[in-house]
Structure 1
Amino acid sequence: MPVPMDVRQTIKALFDNAVDAVCAHRDGVVVAANPAYARLFGYDVADDMAGHPIIETLAPEEHSRVGEIIRRRAAGADVAPVYTAKGLRRDGSRFDLEIGASVFQMDGESYFIAVLRDVSEAEDSKRRLTESEERFRNLFMMSPDPTWIIQDNRFVECNQAAVNILGYPDADSLKNVHPSELSPDAQPDGESSFAKAERMMGLAMANGLHRFEWAHRRHDGSVFPAEVTLSATLLQGRPSIYCTWRDITERHQAEAQMRLAAGVFDSTHEGIVVTDTNGIILSVNPAFTRITGYAGCEVIGKTPAVLKSHRQDRNFYRAMWDDLLKKGEWRGELWNRRKDGEAYLEWLTISAVAGPDGKPSRYVAVFSDVTELRRKDDQIRHQAYHDALTGLPNRFLLADRLDHALEVSRRVQTQVAVLFLDLDRFKVINDSLGHHEGDKLLVEVARRVGQTVRRSDTVSRLGGDEFVVVLSSFSDTTEVALVAEKIIAALARPLRLAGKAVHSGTSIGIAVFPQDGEDAATLLKNADTAMYQAKAGGRRCFRFFDRSMNEHAVRRLELEAQLRQAIDSNQLELHYQPKVLVETGGLAGLEALLRWNHPEQGRIPPMEFIPLAEETGLIIPLSYWVIEEACRKLAKWRKGGADVKVAINLSARQFHDEKLPQRIEAILQRNKVPGSALEIELTEGAVMDDPGRAIVILQRLRALGLRVSVDDFGTGYSSLAYLKRFPINAVKIDRSFVMDLPGDAEDAAIVRAILDLARALNLDVVAEGVETAEQLDFLAQAGCGQVQGYYFSPPRPAAELDAWISKASWAYSPNRP
């Protein structure tokens, strides 16, 4: 049937560029076809197929079935849009054909569009894929290595080997789980198991193959290392990962052993030589080069004869090899020669290493240079009896020499003096400048002390910063005192450490034989006791031991025991001394001072029990008792309407308590007292021991609202660089600078300098120890804001101050509020 030309051209234009074979037909006759359609059926030109019945492109056995489908579709019946049939090419060959059809309207006429595709290769591929997957599954299930299939980053299948090795009851227990669920929370490198598993699977999908180490966890919770291989693949058309792994625990252990052996070989101080059975050197370690001077490349391939010193004859080496062959080992001393020609003595052990056949396959020689050990027996003895840092006699040699001196003194009726030295401020210098600089200080101390005594005297270092000097053959203790003064003067001179001029000093205790002890131990103990008395006396001085010192020691022990009971037995009391505003005479605040009322001994001076509390650590509970008691009294005063501020002295020990801010905060809350009502006073030494830490603690105290003052300012060793960084409110001028005002020009200059510095740093100033009107007038003219001292009032019990708290001002007359 003729078809209008414009219809054919329109349909042809639509189909020419289609990839699939496409034709249009009407009443079962091809109207138009594209080039792909012609190629599918073996025609050269698509137009050659126009006008042919479409049924001719099918195998004869398909004509009836496909013709029925075409008729039913033309009649408007519901027919499957896609079906398969056997196609027939021009050359008579047959192939599997997939046909899809739809209706196309043009100029009021209905045409059928057929899309055809050769699916023969697809069917073959599908069959081959099915067979391949079947073979793959058989290999998968029978693999001796644990194997998994991963899809969507989860295990979907595993073989029996995985079930057995992980110790699970069955494969179902291991399905549909993420790899991280069979692992510890984190891998050995610290990365979480989940994140690392995701990353590893991503790398496998991106690169096709990825291998890595992984920590697995068995059903019983035990963990072991595994080497995992991930291979990206397609299974049933889905992206998948073929995962196999093996337990590498034994490999890790073997590697660790190898690393250990290699580490020992490379790092041991003993030289090691490995030779074959003919004595040819195969390998040497770094220690061999260090001892002999020969690099490995200079000796490998040669025999150890290159090291011969010719100090041993042939008989020596013959005996060595006889023992080695018979016993498999030889050890002994041997003289060899270094590369530079120097002979050295070595301690050598040679061992045979058996091969697979049990016969020696290698010889390993291990040796150490013992030349210095042989040559320096004197040095060894010196080290046993001398301090390693300073070279001075240590306590063992000191005991020997002191015993000898006492023996001689008994025989010739002379005296022996033991001087016990302890350096002042050594810990501060050592901690602030470092141990290296501290060691330099100790070496310099040893040198200076050695220069002040005779060669016949003994200077010893016991340890730390303690030194002992033994003086013998003197007739009068005045000679001993002169030596002590010379030592103090020598150590008072500054020395440079870390580029700074550093001042130290020493306190010396002296015990004399025979009056202070009959033996070395007693003399040392008594000299030590005298040294502590010298420290208590102001440092940089010396004290001779006498019996009263022992009595003092007993007294200290008794006092310590009684002080431990003082808190619980209500023997402690707070006294308060006013701080006065110079300009108005108003009350600036009170300083709380601890007093001990002993039931039998009466009032015990603070200068006696406070240092003892510091030394024994009792100062911490005592200080917290003071804060609690002061806050309790503050609460009472404030409840009565008086806005009073109380200053508390903190010891250095308490300031180093890590929980100090929290404990003070708890005391304030317990007594319902604001932090602004409390002031903390610290000595320079307390804040300068560790300035960095001090700043942090002070900031935490200031955050509670507390004021902070530096007490006894000017008597310590403050660094101005740190002082400006400290979060403090005020400084207190020590009474030692006030007591001689206004007559002492130096003290006046120091006070003015402190006031100028405080103004520059925006700090308040309190002058302590004001006792006269002249002192007050000077301080007022110099611009001091607050004063404190007996001119206004001594420290008084709280009960005596209750009536004074409400007063607006304090008269400037002695001992009157």
Structure 2
Amino acid sequence: MRLDSIPRTLRQKASLAFVLVVLLAVGNVSIVQFLLRESDGMAATLNVAGKMRMLSQRIGLQALMAHRHPDLELLDAIQEDLPSSFEAAYEALRRGGRVFDLDIVPVPAVLSPQLREVGLAWKRYGVAVGALAEAPAGDRSAVAEMARNGADLLARTEALMDGLVVQARAVQQKTLYGAYALFALDLVLLALAGWVVFRRILRPIRELVDQCSALAAGDYSARSALPPGDELGELGQVLNDSAAHIEQLLADIQKKHAALAESQAMFEGLSDNTVAGIYMADENLRFIHANERLAEILGYPRDELAGGLPFKQVFVGPAYEVVRTRLQERLAGHTTGMRYECVARRRDGDPIELEIFGSRMYLHGRPALIGIMFDITERRRAEASARRAALVYAHTSEAMVVTDADGVIQDINPAFTAVTGYSAEEVVGRTMAVLSSGRHDQAFYQAMWAQLHETGRWNGDIHNRRKSGEEYVERLSINTSYNEDGSVNCRIGLFSDVTEKRRREATIWHQAHYDHLTQLPNRQMFQENLRRSIEHSRGGGLPFALAFLDLDLFKEVNDTLGHEAGDQLLRLVARRLSECVRNSDMVARLGGDEFTLIVRDIGDPNDVLPLCHKVLEALSQPYVLGDSVAQVSASMGVAFYPCDGGDASELLRAADLAMYAAKEHGRNQCRIYEAGMRSPAVVRSRTQSG
């Protein structure tokens, strides 16, 4: 192919690629030359440093020969030729220049201190050499001085050469890295050039080849995306225009076929559904088409139903008259639409309720009907069930509320209004928080929602507030209704006002667990708290103390002032005991004038002694009983769990024994339980005295 036969734009691209290759080659040669010059300069510098080392050694040897053999003519060389060569080399290393037929660059700045050390050592060495030249033959001290300075100069020169070797290696490494970088740059530039050739020439040609192959295979939608501006782009545009023209011709041919196929596919898709029965009927009210679903609804084989079965066989009696009238009006064009419900009869004779839709059409030039039928038998039953449920919902005495998944109220029944005072208009669209009394913390509601999310159910008591502001207690049960996909449809809450019931239950419970006279926990409540304290201590809590108190001289107050005064004194004793202990402790009355204290979380048994003294001091103060004043004291026994008893009865027995010990030792005092208090003789004497 001749050069002038290549299109101009492609020739320009080729010329540009050639110029880039030439520039790359020139650049590579220049960079390599630069790196070699730098490497050669460092090698020459190291060579000169080596010559300086040899010159220093030669000067020393000749000076030593001249000292031993004065008759030899060596002195001029030592004093003129060799020193001038050393100094010329030193100056070349320091400032750069030409020496020994070598072009030298100054040593790197990092080696300048070492070069100055060489210069100073050279001066000292020159003085030593001169002294040796003037010294008499056989003067060993001059020889030794010259040798010492020569060795120092040699060491300094060696150090300089070592530094130059390190620098030379660095330059070599730098040269190697430069070669690597140059190679990498060449690869990048070559890759870039290859990418340009691929992007601008090869890929457009490949795209054109692919487009031509697709067109040859009958795919006239194939298009090239080549930009205009060169011959390849113009060729791609021509191919695009040709393909578009052919495609439009084929589209026009297939348009009518597609419309017909679409209509057929639409009808077949509708007919194949499993929900609605599709039918077609002629003007004589006979079925001429029925889908499988309609055959299932009416109980007939599909072929029998669509083979001309008359409507009169499906719709019997008054239902047929209704259907015939509606269909004839639609065939005559008197109505634009048709929808009605009626009762039909299946092939097995069972009645069935249908919802029918129909419209007029023309088939083979004759009027016909097409429509759908729905089996609404179950829907009617569900509607009847829903109406009954609505009656229950509206007339039940239990309040009902329906919310969405987030607790927003959707509906309420009349009983809800009767309990809360809120009408539907006031609460629908709001959350159940409208009833909140503020008695429950955030943790209560979080636990409720956690259980609802996990099980869909929750029931319990809630303190709420009526519209009037009055608080009440409701017993609430919540159930969740789910959609088929498992999502929440709604939540149904049923509740009733149990305020009075809970009050009665609370009163009964209080009477069963609290002393009616002092309002302190009674023996039953004490036993429950004692068991809980033992379980708490066993579960990792601290030990606790049990104190047993018995009033001294209480019988005299009863006998002297009467039982009413005695009851008043017991109430005052209960009040003083309650004022002495912490909120976490417990005061109980076991009966008569016997009281107990449960002091929890005792780290050290001695910590309970100040409380015991406080109690004894408080109880020993005078009591104003109407017009009279009485004074009693108390005897107190203390036992500790678990060291003094492993269970409730054993611990109570230990505290009781300690209390009797306090009475025996003069009353109005406290005794800590000791193991000796359980001896048979002590127990027997206390039993007899009791």
How does the TM-score come out when normalised to structure 2?
0.33
Bigger proportion of residues as helix: 2
Report which of the two structures shows the higher radius of gyration computed on alpha carbons. 2
TM-score (norm 1): 0.28
More RCO (CA 8 Å, sep 6+): 2
